Amino acid sequence: MTVPDRPSRMLAPSRRAQLSLFASNFFKHPRMLGSIIPSSPFLVRRLLAPVDWARARVVVEYGPGVGTITREILARLAPDATLLALETNPEFVAYLGESLPDPRLQLVAGSAETIQAELSRLGLPPADYILAGIPFSTMPAACRERILGDSHAALADDGAMLIYQFSPKVGGDLRRLFSRVEKGFEPLNILPAHLYTCRR
């Protein structure tokens, strides 16, 4: 079964409201967001391109923010699949809870460091895909290594971790941990983004 690559039409709040919330949180937590506006459609399409939607049953997203990528995942995700979204910012958690009332979405107010515990708590199998735009380059090395290691362990044997970053700094860590790492680049985004497809 092929799920069409179409934009989400789910209860989308106004673009102005999304941008306002995202920008206000950027000024509060610039090291956690990295950019003053959400991901561009070009970046979202390139990030999601490797996903085999016909087989994806458990997808994880770290740091969904205002749901720019979350909506596009849900627009493509099979009816019996689950999207587990982990977000530490309480304003974003409240916003997503109100604007995305989708039964496939499991929204957790928590850190990517809890990925294995959350999969276990929800009775979910290992993830087919983990998507992450959290700023690995600005977090402490021990925290970065812990999240990447736990993510690797939380993936299914044929799973993949899809990452976008505004700095290429994390590339070395990814190549040490994953058996295959493919790198891409999306210039049509603020800021231009480095993309990584990492497979066990």
Mean pLDDT taken over the chain: 88
Q: List CB contacts of 134: < 8 A, sequence separation 6 or more.
A: 32, 62, 63, 112, 147
Q: List CB contacts of 21: < 8 A, sequence separation 6 or more.
A: 66, 91, 92, 95
Lookup: tokens for 120 = 């276990």
Residue with tokens 């610039």: 30
Average pLDDT over residues 97-124: 97
Instruction: Look at strands 193-199 and 180-186 and give their pairing.
Output: antiparallel
Looking at CATH, the fold of the domain delimited by 37-199 is given as Rossmann fold (3.40.50)
Q: Quick check: bond before 191 cis, omega within 30? A: yes
Whole-number Å distance between alpha carbons of 152 and 148: 6
Domain ranges of the chain: 37-199
For the segment 35-81, what is each residue's pLDDT rounded down to a tens digit?
A: 546 889 999 999 999 999 999 999 999 999 999 999 999 999 999 99
Whole-number Å distance between alpha carbons of 118 and 154: 10
Q: What is the pTM of this model?
A: 0.84
Whole-number Å distance between alpha carbons of 47 and 166: 13
Lookup: tokens for 70 = 């979350």
